[in-house]
Amino acid sequence: MIDFFIIPVIKVIILFTVCLLIVAYTTWAERKILGHIQLRYGPMRVGWHGLLQPIADGIKNFFKEEVIPDNADKAVFLLAPVISISVAIILLAIIPFGEPFTIFGKKITLWLANPSIGILFILGFATLGSYGTILGGWSSGNKYGYMGGLRASAMILSYELSLAFAVISIIMMTGSLSLVDMVSAQHGLWNVVKQPVAFFVFLISGTAELNRTPFDMPEAESELCCGYNVEYSSMKFALFFLAEYTHMFVFASLVTTLFLGGWHGPFLPGIVWFFIKTFAIIFVCIWVRATFPRLRYDKVMKLEWKFLLPVALANVIVTGAVMALV
Amino acid sequence: MAEGKTITLNMGPHHPATHGVLRVEVELDGEIIVKATPYIGYLHRGIEKLAESKNYQQAIPLSDRLDYASASANNMGYCTAVEKLMGIEVPKRAQYLRVIMAELARIMGHHLWIGTHALDIGAMTVIFYAFRDREMIMDINEEIAGYRLTPTFFRIGGVAADTTPDFIKKVREFVKWFPKALQGYHTLLTENKIWTTRTMGIGPISAKDAINAGLTGPSLRGSGVAYDIRKAFPYSSYDDFDFKIPVGEKGDVYDRYLVRMEEFAQSIKIIDQAIENLPEGPVAIDSPWITNPDLVSVQTDISELARRFVLHTKGPVGPDKEVYHAVEGAKGELGFYLVGDGTEHPFRMKVRSPCFYLASALPRLLVGHMIADAIAIIGSIDVVLGEIDR
């Protein structure tokens, strides 16, 4: 009873609240870091250094008017943000946050589930999340939204591939699809040393998958006026926004898990190391956003099909060859 | 193009990348633009008509509001045109001060351009660096003129006030600081691979086409035509200064970008020369029919008081003739066509706005490019709607 019901329920509650808080404060961190890079302060008014800003934003969004455009496909329009956010939250379930520990003679694992198909689960659900973007853009009955949705679908079709190939080389080295096994296999030497090419391919195509600058095609605020979410208001918009940042958090945790040794690290407890690495990756994402211009849509496709995919494929082949020889 | 294959997209007047209120109706085949039609008129304030009901002195603030991003450069155009109409020769010190203000305004205009242009292409940090430096110019404007964005520092026959020690100090500080800041913009953009792929080969226009379309200023020089009114028909002592006219080769977005970046450096060079060699002397002509008496003599001398009264109730009188005078504004050839009729108002004022021609070249620049390029092209020709609609 305790093992199968109470502990998982407690873990779900903790995971859900903590992760959503982290996600909310990622938005705060993004605004703060962007602000300081851009010679301004970012949020300062709500709470000490704007610390209550995410909460104020949430409350504000609840009280905003719900606008559903006349020529929107109403059911799909309402469903799209739900798909986005629920898929993003499901992804959190199998991230291994730290090493297992024992309390009152019970072994507690710091992950909710460890399915044997681990990474496939992540790749599959991450792709499903893009349906939110596509359907949201398509159903809002707005040309900008429509174009944002179109771009999103093209992005998913292409960048999933190199993302998967980057992961395949890790799977080959670990011999398992489970994220926990992948972390355990990195005890001593991290995958980023063994697989630098896969790391960079994963980082680039992951950024593209997140729709963040320089690959923020589906929203491209200066071209498409925010693209797929242009017609969304109030909490529906906030759900898209939350989903985006949850995806960012998941992506950063995945990079940590797959390439940066997960919870491994000296002196500090595993979970602390995990969050240090994750926030370092998030910081890099924000830094990139502050610095780089946006690529053009067709160049993004070119980068994927003519550069990232061949490189990822070659990396898989080389990895295989080296493994066969050694 | 078969029916139903294209979609018509309305970019503007409140699209984030069509600065001000430019509206471009584009017809898209996928993401490729097959037809583009710019629409203007959303910012019409009737400046030309207003000028007819104001006296020559009073119309100066109107000219500030043409290209509000570089206000003093418009003052220069209007005041030199009126002085040509009235046959006034401005003292050397005033000419140098005007050059300083106009070049500072040019830098201000280019700051707005680099910031928004980079922001449109997605590099969001440049605008904050540009505005940090723009703020220094605003402080200089405030120091000497009292206003920041639209200083209205010029007067018919000279400038409004003499320099203050702080003004000289602040200009020198800016001249010393700005090359470093400019290097910062270059670091962020010039050799950035994403920036070059976004701008090289985009929206090219040949020298011939550019001339036929009436382009002037940096957009024309980007196509390789070294036409700059400051060199071609020097006014306000521009022939005293040593500066170069940067030109591009291909006339694409990147060349226009490089030309403007070099203009930053050249403007700083001009300001440096002007502030170091600032001649002594009065800052306005002393003509009872045009300029105010100084405030001390107004309080002691009844005839000076009467002169001030007449000037403020009636204003300087323009002769019964027509002039056209053009200066190099931040965006190109800014011309004022004035018809005087022997009264204190112009009978007609027509502004030859460079931005109008730039916007009218948009259809030929945009067709065949993608929608993301349209943003880059609109940013690169740098239109200010205040000047187009007037």
With CB atoms and an 8 Å threshold, state whether A299 touches B197: yes
Chain B residues lying within 8 Å of A299, measured CB to CB: 197-198
With CB atoms and an 8 Å threshold, state whether B123 touches A296: no
Using a CB–CB cutoff of 8 Å, tell me whether B129 touches chain A: yes
Q: What is the pLDDT of residue A302?
A: 85
Is pLDDT of A99 > 80?
no
Q: Are A191 and A199 in contact (CB under 8 A)?
A: yes
> Which of A34, A37, A292 to substitute to test the interface with B, most B CBs within 10 Å?
A292
Chain A residues lying within 8 Å of B189, measured CB to CB: 293
Q: No. of H helices and E strands in chain B?
A: 17, 8
With CB atoms and an 8 Å threshold, state whether A293 touches B121: yes
* Residues in chain B, overall count: 390
A195 belongs to a structural domain: yes
Q: What is the pLDDT of residue A221?
A: 67
Q: What are A64-98's pLDDT values in tens digits?
A: 888 888 888 888 888 888 888 888 888 888 888 87
What are the extents of the domains in chain B? 7-388
A284 belongs to a structural domain: yes
Cα distances (Å, whole numbers) of residue A133 to A289, B41, B200, B228: 20, 36, 31, 49
> Which of B9, B14, B33, B125 to substitute to test the interface with A, most A CBs within 10 Å?
B125
> Which of A31, A223, A302 to substitute to test the interface with B, most B CBs within 10 Å?
A223
Q: What are A267-321's pLDDT values in tens digits?
A: 877 788 888 888 898 998 888 888 888 888 788 888 888 888 899 889 889 888 8
Chain A residues lying within 8 Å of B188, measured CB to CB: 291
DSSP B208-234: HHHHHTT--THHHHTTT----HHHHS-
Q: What is the pLDDT of residue A102?
A: 76
Burial of B190 (0-12, 13-18, 19+ CB in 10 A): middle
A241 belongs to a structural domain: yes
Q: What are A230-275's pLDDT values in tens digits?
A: 788 888 888 888 888 888 888 898 888 888 887 877 887 778 888 8
Q: What is the pLDDT of residue A216?
A: 77
How many structural domains compose chain A? 1
With CB atoms and an 8 Å threshold, state whether B195 touches A293: yes
Chain B residues lying within 8 Å of A216, measured CB to CB: 122
CB pairs under 8 A between A and B: 78
Tell me which of A104 and A15 has the higher pLDDT.
Answer: A15
- CA torsion through residues B51, B53, B56, B58, sign: negative
Using a CB–CB cutoff of 8 Å, tell me whether B198 touches chain A: yes
Tokens 């379930």: give the residue.
A93
Backbone torsions φ then ψ of B225, nearest 5 degrees? -95, 115
Cα(B283)–Cα(B87) distance, integer angstroms: 17
A108 belongs to a structural domain: yes
Shortest CB distance from A298 goes to which of B124, B370, B375? B370
Q: What is the pLDDT of residue A130?
A: 81
First to last CA, chain A: 47
Using a CB–CB cutoff of 8 Å, tell me whether B232 touches chain A: no
Strands (E), chain A: 101-103, 106-108
Strands (E), A34-179: 101-103, 106-108
Architecture of the domain spanning B7-388: Orthogonal Bundle (1.10)
Cα distances (Å, whole numbers) of residue B367 to A232, A315, B5, B27: 31, 41, 16, 9
- Which chain B residue lies closest to A150 (C-alpha atoms)? B30
A36 belongs to a structural domain: no
A88 belongs to a structural domain: yes
Q: Is the pTM of this model over 0.95?
A: no
Task: Supply the range of the domain harboring residue A296.
Answer: 66-325
pLDDT in tens, chain B (390 residues): 445 678 888 887 777 777 778 888 888 887 788 888 888 888 888 888 888 888 888 888 888 888 888 888 888 989 999 888 888 888 888 889 899 999 999 999 999 999 888 888 888 888 899 998 999 999 999 988 888 888 888 888 888 888 888 889 999 999 999 999 888 888 888 888 888 888 888 888 888 888 888 888 888 888 888 888 888 888 888 888 888 888 888 888 898 899 999 999 999 999 999 888 888 888 888 887 788 777 888 888 888 888 888 888 888 888 888 899 999 888 888 899 989 888 888 888 899 888 889 888 888 888 888 888 888 888 888 888 888 888
Q: What is the pLDDT of residue B107?
A: 92
Pairing of strands B23-29, B32-39: antiparallel
With CB atoms and an 8 Å threshold, state whether A222 touches B373: no
Q: State the smallest CA–CA distance between residue B14 and chain A in angstroms.
A: 10
Backbone torsions φ then ψ of B171, nearest 5 degrees? -65, -45
- Nearest to residue A311, comparing CAs of A212, A198, A211? A198
> Which of A30, A41, A294 to substitute to test the interface with B, most B CBs within 10 Å?
A294
State the Cα angle at B58 between B271 and B216, rounded to 5°. 45
A10 belongs to a structural domain: no
Model ipTM value: 0.80
Q: What is the pLDDT of residue B1?
A: 44
A95 belongs to a structural domain: yes
Cα(B215)–Cα(B317) distance, integer angstroms: 34
Chain A residues lying within 8 Å of B198, measured CB to CB: 293-296, 299
Q: What are A111-155's pLDDT values in tens digits?
A: 777 778 888 888 888 888 888 888 888 888 788 888 888 888 888
